[in-house]
Structure 1
Amino acid sequence: MLARLMDESRVDAGADVAAFVAKWRGAWPEWALAEIFLPAAQRPLVDAWRALQYEWQEAAWGGTDALPGQAKLQWWIEELDGWSQGRRRHPLGALLQRQPAPWRELALSLPSLAASRNPPQSVDDAWQALAPVSAAVAQVDAALFAAPGDPRAVAACWLQARLARHADAAVPLDLQVDMPRARGNWARILLSAWPSPHGIAAARAIELALARGRLSRGDASKPLSPWTALWTGWRAARA
């Protein structure tokens, strides 16, 4: 069965780049406004990099059966290892692979992401489960955008994304004793520990600010209004 799933993941890898980008942009429609504060030449790279992270998040946390996602992440481990050696198969690699980023180190972090599928036991566990992959992603942020990467900022963005798209498994178990308020409590706890956007790559700073804006308005999945997205993006890009 695992071999069949791996074959299916290779079929997925043949899809067009635009289809991968459209999936994460569909989850973040306000990005079309906020991205105007990034250099135009940088935006395709941001598109590809965020689309890739979206794919991994969905593989790790999406669906009712863990096996397809595990197979996809295993495929990605092999793919990223190939990127580090100058080979690529996935269309997102057409732009990303040629960048001098630590792809091998990123590949080594993906098993920890696969292991994060179950709800975290506690607030601390939620952050710690993402520590290896967020550290590796932050290193790639720094390499791609020539600005400091921040593992805490990456983890915050990913925890907000999980709450937005897979809320039932996102909330730590020790908060689920009060299930009607669990999501709101988790959002408030995340906000209380939210990292600063100052000094990091503008693309990550904008994502971090938009994610915070959604959480602070009480619905992690609800897009910000156009004016709020513009104001938030402008302030984050200047941080």
Structure 2
Amino acid sequence: MAGGMSDPDLEVPDARADGTGTLQAFLDKWQARWPEWSVAGVFVPDAVRARAVAWASLLQELSDAAWGGSDPRPGLAKLAWWQEELRGWERGVRRHPLGIELQRLPAPWGGLAGALDSLPASRERAGDPGEAVELVRPFAHAAAAVEAALFDGRGEGASGEEEAELVAAWLLFSRFSHDQDAHVPLSVMAAAGDGDATLAWAAELRRRWPDAVSRHRPRRIWTALARGRLGARDPRRPASGWSTLWRAWRAARG
């Protein structure tokens, strides 16, 4: 992925000065998509809660760039910008507001930057669910490595490969946030016939969700929230407060 952004409409806010207010805007954007977090987030320890929201916001920025909009070119430009930004984080340099919370943490940001090259191909419709997973697998592995550094999961739980599978499932779920149906595999569309292919894919993704339990409490809670939405009539709609409370409590316990 070569080049930076030249179109002013695609530029990302700079955080080298006082970027705190802009940082909150990015965090708010993620929480607007996940209002359940106002309930579920209390089960994440104070020491990691802020970085968990910042990390989730970064994943949203990257996935929105990869899959949002009908024209892929603006997103490609944003991903190129993010590659430069994440490589800068490893050198101690930051521009994006999310770096205020994340850049200082010793995570493999360069590996995540390199994995962005794999995301454009995942924009195309997969032939079947297995291919859909394979298309996001390289990025999922890099993201799982970052989570291992951010949340330092120890003790019993998923292996590194299993953590990547959980992230891959989350990435496939996150595509429901976009209006297009390009995330629905061809085989699922064919099986759905005249029915709702998006709901058919939601049911299939929920059925195929990895059984592993993440070592990281934020990832366990995100998984619980996503699976709850997949079982609803509209995967984009937030769950009720009581169901969120129950799922988050169980996920936090591991």
TM-score interval (norm. to shorter): over 0.9
1:238 and 2:249 matched:
no
Q: Which ranges of 4 or more aligned residues in structure 1 deviate by more than 6 Å?
A: none
Q: Is the 8 A contact 1:9 1:75 kept in 2?
A: no
1:165 and 2:178 matched:
yes
TM-score of the two chains, using structure 2 as the length reference: 0.88
Which of 207, 224, 236 is the equivalent residue of 2:239? 224
Q: Is the 8 A contact 2:5 2:78 kept in 1?
A: no
How many angstroms apart in 2 are the aligned matches of 1:179 and 1:190?
A: 19
Read off the aligned partner of 1:154 and give its amino acid letter: V
Read off the aligned partner of 1:46 and give its amino acid letter: A
How many angstroms apart in 1 are the aligned matches of 2:180 and 2:239?
A: 19
Read off the aligned partner of 1:215 and give its amino acid letter: L
Shift in alpha-carbon separation, 1:114–1:40, aligned structure 2, 3 A: same
Q: Where does structure 1 lack aligned partners over 5 or more consecutive residues?
A: none
TM-score of the two chains, using structure 1 as the length reference: 0.93
How many angstroms apart in 2 are the aligned matches of 1:89 and 1:12?
A: 8
How many angstroms apart in 2 are the aligned matches of 1:71 and 1:167?
A: 20
The structure that is helix-richer by fraction is: 1
Read off the aligned partner of 1:155 and give its amino acid letter: A
Question: What does 1:32-111 correspond to in 2, within 5 Å?
Answer: 32-111=38-117
Residue matched to 1:127? 133
**For 1:52, what is the secondary structure of its paired residue?**
helix
**For 2:26, what is the secondary structure of its paired residue?**
helix
Q: Is the 8 A contact 2:90 2:108 kept in 1?
A: yes
Residues 188-218 of structure 1, C-alpha deviation per residue, up to 9 Å, x if partnerless? 2111111235242000110001000010123
How many angstroms apart in 2 are the aligned matches of 1:197 and 1:206?
A: 13
Which of 186, 190, 193 is the equivalent residue of 2:205? 190
Instruction: Give how far 1:166 is off.
Output: 3.8
Q: Where does structure 2 lack aligned partners over 5 or more consecutive residues?
A: none
Residue matched to 1:139? 145
Residue matched to 2:187? 174
How many angstroms apart in 1 are the aligned matches of 2:37 and 2:246?
A: 12
Which of 221, 226, 232 is the equivalent residue of 1:211? 226
Aligned residues: CA RMSD: 1.9
Shift in alpha-carbon separation, 1:13–1:219, aligned structure 2, 3 A: farther
How many angstroms apart in 2 are the aligned matches of 1:12 and 1:169?
A: 29
How many angstroms apart in 1 are the aligned matches of 2:14 and 2:122?
A: 23
How many angstroms apart in 1 are the aligned matches of 2:212 and 2:13?
A: 34
Instruction: Give how far 1:92 is off.
Output: 0.6
Shift in alpha-carbon separation, 1:64–1:52, aligned structure 2, 3 A: same
Instruction: Give how far 1:13 is off.
Output: 4.6
Which of 4, 7, 14 is the equivalent residue of 2:6? 4
**For 1:34, what is the secondary structure of its paired residue?**
helix
Amino-acid identity (%): 44
